[in-house]
Amino acid sequence: MAITVDLLARPPLEVPGLRKPPWLRVSLPSGDDYERVKAKVKALELHTVCKEAACPNVAECWGAGTATIMILGDLCTRGCRFCNVKTGNPRGEVDWLEPLRVAEAVRDLGWKYLVVTAVDRDDLPDGGALIFANTVRAIHERVPGARVEILSGDYRGDLRAVDIVVDAQPDVFAHNVETVRRLTPFVRDKRAGYDQSLAVLAHVKARASHRYTKTSLMLGLGETQDEIAEAMDDARAAGVDIFTMGQYLQPSKKHLPVVEFVSPQRFEQLGAQAKRRGFHQVVSSPLSRSSYHAEQAF
């Protein structure tokens, strides 16, 4: 029994000869709408997680005139082993006019639903919570009727910082557990934590029960069926309303290897299992990401 536990505790191991299957092929970004979004984001000196995190859906989403804006710069203080965003120390630098430029982009591009995310900013006392809140308020003030979803960090478990964001009244508060409990120490930065993430989500639901909460899992890192089921149950116990699952894709050789390419049929089966648990919305497919088709929750 001790040997079994030791094997399960190991980090994801590369599977020799594993090739990307055809269902993960995506089109190259192109089209007038894509170019329009690209030009506006560049002109306003904004960042998008679509580009910084090398999202496979950038062609589809930008082609449809939507995006996930990433605030607080493009330098993250954490070094999660799955993420393509640059790691470093921003040394407290904050652009306090950024929320106004994000709101301008929403207005000019006619977006009715925007996902706002950010790098982790452990160099700031509030983890960047005030900028998040200011961005939500700026969008609501300048684009009445627009819905705002935030994909937030965990603020190292500081629930006072979480409250700053929640009090700005985002329509959806998303925070990703990313992977199952066992793999968390190998996949995420040491300052993150499976239970810490669940505690943030539970606190948001307790403070604003009428707001949707959301979390996401990456699959293909060596998790078991029982561990996926446990993550679903843990999310529901924390009051999570929206649950998404997608395939982990290795951004570069320095990142964690893919252990398994999960089939579309398996994603469909897992999605059905999640729906039976009572989530308001479930999105489950190889190319699903946390913000993929986010507006469909409404």
Residues 6+ apart with CB under 8 A from 121: 72, 76, 77, 90, 127, 128, 153
Predicted local confidence at residue 56, as pLDDT? 57
Predicted local confidence at residue 2, as pLDDT? 36
Predicted local confidence at residue 112, as pLDDT? 84
Percent residues over pLDDT 90 in the chain: 65
Q: How far is CA 244 from CA 86, 135, 160, 214, 225, in A?
A: 24, 24, 27, 8, 16
Averaged pLDDT score across all residues of the chain = 87
If one compares 253 and 271, the residue with the highest pLDDT of the two is 271
Hey, which residues does 245 pair with through a beta bridge?
217, 284
If one compares 121 and 12, the residue with the highest pLDDT of the two is 121
Q: Are 181 and 210 a contacting pair, CB within 8 Å?
A: no
Percent residues over pLDDT 70 in the chain: 79
CA–CA distance, 177 with 173 (Å, rounded to integer) = 13
Range in 2-11, 159-168, 172-181, 258-267 with the lowest mean pLDDT: 2-11
CA–CA distance, 24 with 286 (Å, rounded to integer) = 7
Instruction: Sketch out the chain's domains with CATH numbers.
Output: 29-297 (3.20.20.70)
Predicted local confidence at residue 24, as pLDDT? 84
pLDDT per position as a tens digit, 113-149? 888 999 999 999 999 999 999 999 999 999 999 999 9
Predicted local confidence at residue 18, as pLDDT? 81
Q: What is the mean pLDDT of residues 201-225?
A: 97
Predicted local confidence at residue 29, as pLDDT? 58
Label each residue of 81-114 as H, E or C: CCCCCEECCCCCCCCCCHHHHHHHHHHHHCCCEE
pLDDT per position as a tens digit, 55-96? 555 556 555 556 678 899 989 999 999 998 899 999 999 999
Label each residue of the chain as H, E or C: CHHHHHHHCCCCCCCCCCCCCHHHCCCCCCCHHHHHHHHHHHHCCCEEHHHHCCCCCHHHHHHCCCCEEEECCCEECCCCCCCCCEECCCCCCCCCCHHHHHHHHHHHHCCCEEEEEECCCCCCCCCCHHHHHHHHHHHHHHCCCCEEEEECCCHHHCHHHHHHHHCCCCCEEECCCECCCCCHHHHCCCCCCHHHHHHHHHHHHHHCCCCEEEEEEEECCCCCHHHHHHHHHHHHHCCCCEEEEEECCCCCCCCCCCCCCCCHHHHHHHHHHHHHCCCCEEEECCCCCCCCCHHHHC
